[in-house]
């Protein structure tokens, strides 16, 4: 953004919330977030707890950008098609979890979870295909957990279910490139997520020919305009996804998706369905497979109901202060 807001102003607008989840996700049962009542609208700062300050500072840059000014890029669509997200739930909970998202035509399934086997993944994908029918779209997300050999074996075991793509099957760009070379005869695309948002060079994956498409998130890439610039320079199709945000963070993702010149894939912005409560009334949940674009305002009752305790609030204030200092350098 053009000028960094003063720290005192940012802290004066801060609300820390702790939101319960419907099902355990990324090892947590609650999602903590800082909400900022900025002059241009509400924004969210919610890097995952394990991220260091250097990585988290990009999330703060995005939150300040969204809360203190509007994007210069025009919106080209008024609603965003979204997918359902299926965590590594037991097989008997697959149908109920997918149903939380309503009539979504696409499901992203988390695979390669710690403690799970490929047989577990196959069973979960098979059940999802049964529920969706032949017209539904299935994509997988391994979060970089497989080696190249493991990824190739898994893709070959799962391709029978007509996969749309597999997201971040391996951790590194060279591994993605090698996997893409090995499976080029299989009609399964490779998408890059962490290789875009958790690196100093988000364009390396495109230059290496290591992915067919990019999965982008506004917050870790430093905001809407920077994410748009990365997609434009990469020259690859993009899917906008969330990081288990509240409805306020999802609204920033929707604004990013609305500004992409092309949006050939459903976006991962329906994850408010995985929250047992939310900061907005009503929450930004999928309606007939889409979410609307537009600013979301925090509900005062929800801010009181979901307010984090004093210890967690102090932790987040300290974290934001350190990240602000990094951005001010």
pLDDT tens-digit readout, 231-265: 999 999 999 999 999 999 999 999 999 999 999 99
Please name which of 256, 250, 251 lies closest in space to residue 222, comparing C-alpha atoms.
256
Give the model's confidence band at 26: pLDDT under 50 very low, under 70 low, under 90 confident, else very high: confident
Supply 38's token pair: 């900025």
193 annotated as belonging to a binding site for a ligand: yes
Instruction: Express each pLDDT in 163-185 by its tens digit.
Output: 999 999 999 999 999 999 999 99
CATH assignment of 79-299, among 3.40.50.300, 3.20.20.120, 3.40.190.10, 3.40.50.720: 3.20.20.120
Averaged pLDDT for residues 27-43:
96
Please name which of 255, 51, 229, 226 lies closest in space to residue 240, comparing C-alpha atoms.
255
Domain boundaries, the chain: 7-70+301-328, 79-299
Q: Among 20-29, 71-80, 109-118, 306-315, which stretch is predicted with the lowest mean pLDDT?
A: 20-29
Q: How far apart are CA 26 and CA 41, in angstroms?
A: 29
Does the annotation mark 198 as catalytic? no
Over 70: is that where the pLDDT of 269 sits? yes
Q: How many other CB atoms sit within 10 Å of the CB of residue 185? A: 5
User: Per the residue annotation, which of 31, 110, 259, 324 is the catalytic one?
Assistant: 110
Q: What does pTM read for this prediction?
A: 0.95
Q: At 123, which helix (H) or strand (E)?
A: helix 118-132
9 annotated as belonging to a binding site for a ligand: no
User: In the prediction, which pLDDT does 1 show?
Assistant: 55
Report the CATH number of the 7-70+301-328 domain. 3.30.390.10
Instruction: Express each pLDDT in 132-172 by its tens digit.
Output: 999 999 999 999 999 999 999 999 999 999 999 999 999 99
User: In the prediction, which pLDDT does 219 show?
Assistant: 97
Rg, the chain, Cα only? 19
User: Per the residue annotation, which of 31, 197, 217, 285 is the catalytic one?
Assistant: 217
- Name the pairing type of β-strands 41-45 and 28-38: antiparallel
141 annotated as belonging to a binding site for a ligand: yes
Give the phi and the psi of residue 127 in degrees, each rounded to 5.
-65, -40
Q: What's the first-to-final CA gap in the chain, in angstroms?
A: 14
């Amino acid at each position: 953004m053009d000028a960094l807001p003063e720290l005192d102003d940012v802290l004066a607008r801060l609300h820390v919330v702790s939101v319960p989840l419907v099902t355990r996700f990324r090892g947590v049962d609650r999602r903590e977030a800082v909400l900022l009542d900025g002059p241009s609208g509400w924004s969210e700062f919610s890097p995952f707890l394990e991220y260091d300050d250097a990585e988290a500072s990009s999330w703060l840059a995005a939150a300040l950008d969204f809360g203190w000014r509007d994007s210069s890029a025009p919106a080209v669509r008024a609603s965003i098609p979204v997918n359902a997200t299926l965590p590594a739930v037991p097989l008997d909970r697959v149908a109920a979890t997918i149903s939380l998202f309503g009539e979504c035509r696409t499901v992203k399934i988390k695979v390669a979870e710690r403690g799970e086997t490929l047989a577990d993944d196959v069973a979960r994908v098979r059940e999802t295909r049964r529920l969706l029918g032949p017209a539904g779209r299935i994509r997988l997300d391994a979060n970089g957990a497989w080696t190249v050999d493991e990824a190739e074996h898994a893709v070959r075991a799962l391709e029978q279910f007509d996969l749309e793509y597999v997201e971040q099957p391996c951790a590194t760009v060279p591994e993605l490139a090698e996997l893409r070379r090995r499976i080029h005869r299989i009609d399964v695309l490779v998408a890059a997520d962490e290789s875009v948002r958790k690196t100093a060079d988000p364009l390396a994956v495109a230059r290496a020919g290591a992915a067919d498409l990019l999965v982008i998130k506004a917050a870790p890439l430093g905001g809407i305009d920077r994410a748009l610039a990365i997609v434009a320079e990469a020259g690859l199709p993009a899917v906008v996804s969330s990081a288990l945000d509240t409805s306020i963070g999802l609204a920033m993702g929707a604004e990013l998706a609305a500004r992409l010149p092309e949006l050939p894939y459903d976006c991962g912005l329906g994850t408010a369905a995985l929250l047992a409560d939310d900061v907005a009334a009503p929450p930004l949940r999928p309606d007939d497979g889409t979410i609307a674009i537009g600013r979301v305002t925090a509900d005062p009752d929800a801010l009181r109901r979901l307010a984090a305790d004093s210890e967690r609030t102090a932790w987040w204030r300290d974290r934001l202060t350190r990240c602000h200092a990094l951005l001010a350098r």
